């Protein structure tokens, strides 16, 4: 029993290209407050969204190895681009359970759509990979997926422009073609986009379901830990943050994404 708890006290490793994955970490910390969490933000290499599959997979592999050295009990790829490009490879080379964000978001979209028209927005890499459409079709071939890369959304969020006229106009231009297709559900297929959720809702209206995969991923993490008998049972979770570039910037901006103050961030070289 004691031995089991020691094993279960190991942290959950979470990584992203930068800040965005903190929205996922925040959801996990709310659902599983006892769990210890270790976050890695690859701030030296952000953005992943415009990089090749090969390069994103190399970065993702190095980070996962770092997290395994930290003795994590599982890894969450809290980045859509890295999930789309690298999950398969990582599952082969990393010896702890590992999940991405795409399956969880797809499942929630499937549960929500009535007219079987689902929009997916994300980085160029995520959209190019077609990963959401593939995952959704695996469950239901009759669903029509319409994807759109929205490359300006990440810099808008990083600048803190989450609302206002300019942001609304940009959202409106990007999403018009999806709205015209009469989608009834849209997946926010990028970890930065939850911060734009209210503004997106204002632009596209209340009738389109907005799927923010962070909550869905947190539930998937809980299910995986339960299934493997790995849930931590006692005490409040402790959090560690690592980055590959300027820790000060991460501390300042990261707190906004995490919805909580981040006090200590350590820079590491992989």
Measured over the CA atoms of residue 258, residue 264, residue 267 and residue 270, the dihedral's sign is negative
Beta carbons of 58 and 228 less than 8 angstroms apart: no
Exposure pattern of 81-120 as b/e (b: 16+ CB <10 Å)? bbbbbbbeebeeebebbbbbbbbbbbbbbbebbeeebbbb
Residue 26 found at the interface with ligand DGL (CB under 6 A)? no
Residue-by-residue DSSP string for 44-107 = TT---TTS-HHHHHHHHHHHHHHHHHTT-SEEEE--HHHHHHHHHHHHHH-SS-EE-SHHHHHH
Residue 20 found at the interface with ligand DGL (CB under 6 A)? yes
Q: How many Å is the Cα radius of gyration of the chain?
A: 18
Nearest distance, CB of residue 18 and ligand DGL, angstroms: 6
Site for ligand DGL in 130-169 (CB under 6 A): 154
Site for ligand DGL in 204-263 (CB under 6 A): none
User: Binding marks (x or -) toward ligand DGL, 181..200, rule CB under 6 A?
Assistant: ---------xxx--------
Residues 6+ apart with CB under 8 A from 3: none
Give the residue, chosen from 8, 17, 43, 147, that forms a contact with ligand DGL under the rule CB under 6 A.
Answer: 17
Largest CA distance in the chain: 58
Cross-strand partners of 16: 41
Give the residue, chosen from 38, 46, 108, 175, that forms a contact with ligand DGL under the rule CB under 6 A.
Answer: 46
Cross-strand partners of 77: 15
Residues 6+ apart with CB under 8 A from 247: 265, 266, 267
Residue 16 found at the interface with ligand DGL (CB under 6 A)? yes
Q: Is 190 a catalytic residue?
A: yes
Nearest distance, CB of residue 132 and ligand DGL, angstroms: 11
Question: Site size for ligand DGL, by CB under 6 A?
Answer: 18
Q: In angstroms, rounded to a whole number, what is the distance separating the alpha carbons of residues 238 and 38?
A: 8
Residue 60 found at the interface with ligand DGL (CB under 6 A)? no
Of 79, 99, 101, 157, which residue is the catalytic one?
Answer: 79
Measured over the CA atoms of residue 135, residue 138, residue 140 and residue 143, the dihedral's sign is positive
Of 175, 190, 204, 224, which residue is the catalytic one?
Answer: 190
Nearest distance, CB of residue 142 and ligand DGL, angstroms: 27
Give the residue, chosen from 80, 86, 185, 209, that forms a contact with ligand DGL under the rule CB under 6 A.
Answer: 80
Residue 126 found at the interface with ligand DGL (CB under 6 A)? yes
Residue 15 found at the interface with ligand DGL (CB under 6 A)? no
Give the residue, chosen from 25, 79, 204, 243, that forms a contact with ligand DGL under the rule CB under 6 A.
Answer: 79
Nearest distance, CB of residue 24 and ligand DGL, angstroms: 9
Q: Which residue's CB comes closest to ligand DGL?
A: 49
Give the pair of three-digit tokens for residue 175.
């999403």
Rank residues 87 and 230 by Cβ distance to ligand DGL and give the closer one: 87
Q: Is 79 a catalytic residue?
A: yes
Binding-site ranges for ligand DGL (CB under 6 A): 16-18, 20, 46-49, 79-81, 122-123, 126, 154, 190-192
Residues noted as catalytic: 79, 190
């Amino acid at each position: 029993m004691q031995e089991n708890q020691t094993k279960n006290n190991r942290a959950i490793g979470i990584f992203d290209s930068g800040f965005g994955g903190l929205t996922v970490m925040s959801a996990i910390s709310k659902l599983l407050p006892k769990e210890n969490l270790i976050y890695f933000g690859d701030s030296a290499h952000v953005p992943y969204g415009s990089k090749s599959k090969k390069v994103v997979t190399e970065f993702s592999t190095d980070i996962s190895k770092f997290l395994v050295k930290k003795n994590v009990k599982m890894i969450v790829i809290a980045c859509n681009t890295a999930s789309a490009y690298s999950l398969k490879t990582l599952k082969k080379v990393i010896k702890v359970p590992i999940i991405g964000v795409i399956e969880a978001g797809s499942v929630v979209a499937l549960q929500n759509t009535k007219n079987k028209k689902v929009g997916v927005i994300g980085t160029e890499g995520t959209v190019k990979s077609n990963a959401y459409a593939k995952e959704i079709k695996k469950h239901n071939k009759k669903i029509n997926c319409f994807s759109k890369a929205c490359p300006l959304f990440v810099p808008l969020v990083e600048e803190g422009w989450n609302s206002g006229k300019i942001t609304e106009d940009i959202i409106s231009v990007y999403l018009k073609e999806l709205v015209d297709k009469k989608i009834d559900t849209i997946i926010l297929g990028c970890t930065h986009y939850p911060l734009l959720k209210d503004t997106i809702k204002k632009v596209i209206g209340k009738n389109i379901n907005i799927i923010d995969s962070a909550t869905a991923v947190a539930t998937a993490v809980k299910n995986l830990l339960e299934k493997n008998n790995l849930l931590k049972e006692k005490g409040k979770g402790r959090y560690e943050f690592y980055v590959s570039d300027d820790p000060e910037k991460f501390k300042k901006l990261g707190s906004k994404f995490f919805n909580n103050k981040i006090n200590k961030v350590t820079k590491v070289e992989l």
